[in-house]
Each structure stands twice: as structure tokens, then as C-alpha cells.
Chains A and B, each alone.
Chain A
């Protein structure tokens, strides 16, 4: 004997059948804000940036001049480019503490080859970026194949790459006068591309915007980009969907290394010389920019434009507070609070899904 509907399901006959319908039923104000932020994650950092520029423009009159605003862009150019690399990695629920070391070592490879060994410049630059990619791939290999946690891996490679940097550079800088004499194109990204109304937009700043655009496109409009999100969001779902997670992870870290290598070239133009003791704080600075920009440290959600905005927000706060005559440690205080708020916001967005 078979049974169709059981007795307790009899009253279902009278109820609506449309349970699996996708209706936006929860219309509370807070929920609509939450949905807006979920769908347009770049909204929050964009708003924060605009508001903070206006606020500091009010508090420190010189702040709103084109010169000062373009200065902020200049100061965060290298951080912003490396933040693009860091975003890719954090989207996979990873993290990279070795980005600064990759950057400096790559710039030394370019510098030593072009300036001190007379290698033709395009070759030297390519070599520097290739070394960066290799270092990134090494990180990726340890994370994907040996299955070590990214934090531990990059903590270790930070020391390894730093030691290599010191050995390769001999702890000596490559001076500006030498670079200008033998390979001035290394300095190109520091030069002004345009000077509208007293502002100064460097080629480095242009590179940052272009690179951000390229990677925004890649993450949104290519399969690789969707896979990067999926791996960080739900690794099991990614595997079961047929995504080659190991290969994708390694490629993410390798691409990040390539970006850091490129950033090494931009950095030469920014600083004017190649120094083994520069950019030691950039690791944390990029993570700060990425988090403030709305990318979740737990992976799966975030955006490249967000990270660039995050870098700009930190720049606006530090320069704004400085011009307003506020003591330095309040800059640290402010940035720290921005990070806490950003992380709390991310948690609030996630909690709704539980």
C-alpha cells in the first residue's frame, strides 16, 4: 500500500504554493541598506571618501586645493597598486605578508641589471617582473599544493625574501644620479603626466587607475575572476563545481607577485632611488586599504575599486589630519578605527545570511 500526502499535510491544500518565489519580503530600512551595500559593495568606501574629503576641506582650508588632493593620489600610488595584488589574494580567503619584500627585491633586480650591469632596460624590467611572479608562484605553491595556511606561508616567505633582498642589494642603495645616468626610464612613473590647475598627476597615478580598471574587468567579466571569488567564498562548492582550485590559487598568487613586481618599477619613480630599507610598512598598509575598501578577510566578497578607494581614504585621513595640525598618533588612531568599522560592517552583512 502506498501513501500520498500524509494527514498533517491536508491543510496545505489551502495555502499558497509559491514558497520558492524570490520575493523581496523583508522591507525594513536596515535590510534595504544591507541589500544595497551587498549588491554595490563599493558604495560604502566611495561615500566615506567623499565625506572625508569634504570634512577635511572644512577643517583644513588648504586641503581642497588640486595640489594637495593630487598629492594624496601620489602618496598612495604604490600602496594602491600593491593593494590590487593583496585584494586578489584576500578574495581567496588568503593573505600575503610578503608583498613588500617582493616589491623591493623586484625593483633591485631591475635596478642592478639596468644600472650596474648594463642590461638593456626592457629586459631588466621584464626580469624584475618575472622574479616577482616567481616569488608569488612560490607562495601559491605552498598554499595550494602543500596546503599550508597563507598567513604562515607568507610570514615565512617574508623573512626569506627579505634576506634575499639584503643579500642581493648588499645593503646598499642604488642612487638617483646613477639611475638617471644609465637607465632614466626606470624613473618614468614618477614623472607628471598632466598638471591641471596646479595638481600633479604622475604616470604612476595613471597606471594605478588603469591597472585597477583592468583587474576590475577581470574579476567581474571573466570566468577566472568568478572562480577567484568562489574559492574564497566556499572552497567546497568551487571544487564540486569543477573549478581547478589548486591551479587557480597558484595563478592568483603568481599574478599578485607580477603586480608587486610592476609596483617595484613604479616605486623607483616614486622614491627616485632604490633602497633596501624602504617600503617596510607597506604590507600592513595594503591590508588596511583592502579592509577599509570593503573586502572581507574571510574571502569571497570584495572589489578592486574598493581597495583603491581604501588606499585613498587612508591617504586623505593622514594628510587631512596633518594639515589640520593634529598630532601624528591621531592619524594612527583614526585609521585603526576605520579598519574596525569596516570589519564590523562586513560581519553585519554576513550575519544576515546565517
Chain B
């Protein structure tokens, strides 16, 4: 048995998303379903429209048509802030970290904590101590050990360390969904392994994850289902336990047509 249509309600449901940039059609009636407690892999060839789909869900792009439902309720994300407020956190491909600012600064960028009382209300003073403590705790929780200086700037960190900060940020503030766009694309073998472990840690905390990746072995290792994206829409979803990597790639590139029973609406 491959895919059965699951009677459980999806946490996140997108239907018929369309987006045009001039003459380029980035989303052509794209759908997506994300169920509780799962890691959903999203794979697709270059230019298939995966990043646009993810940006629509994270509020970074506003679709021209279609709808998105979170926990059964329709949502309209106009700016990234809207998605964040709804509990969707995203680790973007370029990490969206400001290099000259510190780890703590970046963790709280756009949602800074103010000191209680008059210092915070009248003088708008930031509670640096609180933010630093929180940041250190979150990084430790995810097993990012030995933080020498939480006030180190992002630019002093290696690629894997930066990835860790971005993931920790999403895990710390996400409450409904965590999205990760190509989290291992620029990393070496050891560091990629670390990120995969981080993904499973986040999943174990009860948040479903959407993982976009080009790396088939990684996708097949951590994902519960794989959404194959092609030409701006969902081609089908497959079960990594029942399909081979080469077949998945063939579906992705159009070399193989999805068999009727694996195609989903």
C-alpha cells in the first residue's frame, strides 16, 4: 500500500496557489498538505517553484489566487510577520541572518524583548540579559554546545553554526509549523548530519516540518512523506519507505509519470 488518503485533518493546507511574475508563472495551481507530527519533504527540479510555494506559506510572497488554511481556518498572509504571528516559522535558504549583529540580536530580530516596568515602557529599553539567556537556552536545547559568547556576531560563525542559529530560532518561536528551505545545501558532511539530527529534535517537540532539499539521501532519511513539485504544481506525494530514490528523481524530472494510485488531488 502506498498512500492512503488520511482522514486526519492537515495542519496546513494549500489549494490552487497561482503566482505570476510578468510572463513567468512561478505557481500554477500549487497544492500542499502537511499533517501533524510529520516531516514533509518537498522535492523538485530547479525552477519547479518550490521556493515560491514556501514563500507563499511563510508570507514572503502573496499569491495571486488560491487559498491557504491553517488548522482548518483560512489565512491571508500579506507580510512575513503575519505568518510568524500565526505560528509558522521559516528557515530561509539564505538564512535571513544579519551578519554584523549578534546571535542574540538575530534570534530576536523583529520581536525584541523590552525590560519590564518604566524602563521598557517609557525608555523602550531592551532586555538584553533576558534575550541572551533565552538564546543560550534554545541553542543548548538543540544540542549546540559550548556557546562561548552569545554576543558573537553572525559573521564570525561557520556555515553550519549559522544554520544552527537559524534552526534554533525557528524552533524556539514556531508553534504550528517549521519550514526549512535547503538547510544542508551549503554544508559539509558532518554539519549536514547535525542539521538532520536537529530536524528530528524539532519534530520530537511536536511540530510538523516542511523540508525542501535537493539531497535525496537526506530527504529519504528524515521525511515521512515526500511532496514532488513539478512545473509550478504538486505532481504527487510518495512514501519514502515504498519508493526508490531513482524513481523519485524520475518523477521529479518528468522522466516517469506518476502511477494512478500514487497521484493525489
Contacts and interface: CB of A to CB of B under 8 A. Distances in A.
Interface of A: 1-6, 8-9, 12, 15, 17-24, 35, 38-39, 221-224, 226-227, 229-230, 233-234, 236-243, 300-301, 350, 352-353
Contacts of A223: 112, 114, 124, 126
Contacts of B13: none
B116 to A, nearest CB: 14
A12 B112 contact: no
Contact of B99 (A15, A234, A239, A240): A234
Contacts of A237: 95-98, 106, 109
Interface string B78-120: 0111001000001010111111110001100111101000000
A2 B240 contact: yes
Contacts of A352: 155-156
Contacts of A353: 99, 153, 155-156
Instruction: For the complex of A and B, list the 6 residue pairs with the smallest distance between their C-beta atoms, beginning with the closest.
Output: A353-B155, A241-B110, A242-B110, A242-B81, A20-B164, A241-B109
Given A19-B191, A35-B156, A221-B123, 4 more contacts: A221-B124, A230-B101, A233-B98, A300-B99
A214 B163 CA distance: 35
A22 B194 contact: no
B233 to A, nearest CB: 25
A23 B146 contact: yes
Which one of B94, B125, B153, B161 has the highest number of Cβ atoms from chain A below 10 Å of its Cβ? Answer: B153
Given A222-B126, A242-B79, A22 B146 contact: yes
Interface in B134-164: 139, 143-149, 151-153, 155-157, 160-161, 163-164
A22 B157 contact: yes
28 contacts: A2-B220, A2-B241, A3-B217, A4-B221, A12-B190, A19-B194, A20-B143, A20-B145, A20-B194, A21-B144, A22-B139, A22-B146, A23-B146, A23-B148, A221-B124, A223-B126, A226-B101, A230-B105, A238-B109, A240-B60, A240-B92, A241-B80, A241-B96, A241-B111, A300-B99, A300-B100, A353-B99, A353-B156
B9 interface: no
Contacts of A24: 148-149
Nearest to A349: B155
B92 A301 contact: no
Given A19-B191, A22-B157, A224-B124, A233 B96 contact: no
Contacts of A6: 217
B80 A240 contact: yes
B144 A20 contact: yes
Interface of B: 60, 79-81, 84, 90, 92, 94-101, 105-106, 109-112, 114, 123-126, 128, 139, 143-149, 151-153, 155-157, 160-161, 163-164, 189-191, 193-194, 217, 220-221, 240-241, 244-245
Which one of A4, A24, A226, A240 has the highest number of Cβ atoms from chain B below 10 Å of its Cβ? Answer: A240
A157 to B, nearest CB: 28
Contacts of B109: 226-227, 230, 237-238, 241-243
Contacts of B84: 242
Nearest to B142: A20
Contacts of A17: 194
B98 A238 contact: yes
A334 B189 CA distance: 51
Contacts of B145: 18, 20-21
B100 to A, nearest CB: 4
Contacts of B111: 241-242
Nearest to B218: A6
Nearest to B221: A4
Nearest to A26: B156
A39 B96 CA distance: 21
Contacts of A20: 143-145, 160-161, 163-164, 191, 194
Contacts of B193: 9, 12
A9 B79 CA distance: 40
A64 to B, nearest CB: 37
Which one of B110, B145, B157 has the highest number of Cβ atoms from chain A below 10 Å of its Cβ? Answer: B110
Nearest to B143: A20
B190 to A, nearest CB: 5
B126 A19 contact: no
Contacts of A243: 109-110
A186 to B, nearest CB: 31
Nearest to A296: B100
Contacts of B139: 22
A222 B122 CA distance: 11
Contacts of A229: 98, 100-101, 105
Nearest to A353: B155
Contacts of A239: 60, 80
Nearest to A301: B100
A313 B253 CA distance: 63
